[in-house]
Amino acid sequence: MKNTMLLKIPSKSENERFARTVCAAFLLEVDPTIEEMSEIKTAVSEAVTNAIIHGYNSGEGEVVITGELSDRTVTYTIKDSGCGIPDIEKAREPLYTGKPETERSGMGFSIMEAFMDELVVESEPGKGTTITMIKRLSENAE
């Protein structure tokens, strides 16, 4: 099974739910487990939320999300053209947050890493950030 998706949304917090729901629904045809669905929903939610609150600092912007399904491997990219990440290694540390004055837990990247098989973070200060996440779904029971 091969398929692709493209979703472009304004950086509004109301769109977080929409984006993760669409990304999970993209897989319905290949019958993922409930656990796989919920892991993907959570990881996508983390990346999209980061684009909105960190990338665009809760201001205006566009978040572009793609999905690509090839057999039972799914790849998502979440791209913003926001402020970028100056120190990616530091940002990926568990519990690190660049916004300690707000109620961020600093767990976003750790969750993406734990719930997906591969996570690539590409970022350039002033240009934006692209997150690529890959997950290999388990074989169907039937």
Partner 1 sequence: MEITLIPKQRMILVRATGEIDHHSSEAIRRLTEKEIRRSGAVNVAFDFGRVSFMDSSGIGMLLGRYKTVKALGGSIIVYDVSQQVKRLIEMSGLMELIIVSDTLQKGINEMNRTKGVRI
Q: How far apart are CA 2 and CA 35, in angstroms?
A: 22
Q: Count how many Cα atoms sit within 13 Å of the Cα of residue 129 in the half-sphere of its side chain.
A: 26
Dihedral of CA atoms 82, 77, 32, 4 in degrees, nearest 10, equals 130
Q: How far apart are CA 134 and CA 86, in angstroms?
A: 24
Per-residue binder mask for partner 1 (CB under 8 A), 98-117, x = binder: ----xxxxxxx-xx--x---
Annotation says 20 is catalytic:
no
Q: Nearest residue by C-beta to ligand ADP? A: 108
User: Which residues in 41-100 contact partner 1 (CB under 8 A)?
Assistant: 41-42, 45-46, 49, 52-53
Per-residue binder mask for Mg ion (CB under 5 A), 33-52, x = binder: -----------------x--
Q: What are the catalytic residues?
A: 46, 50, 104
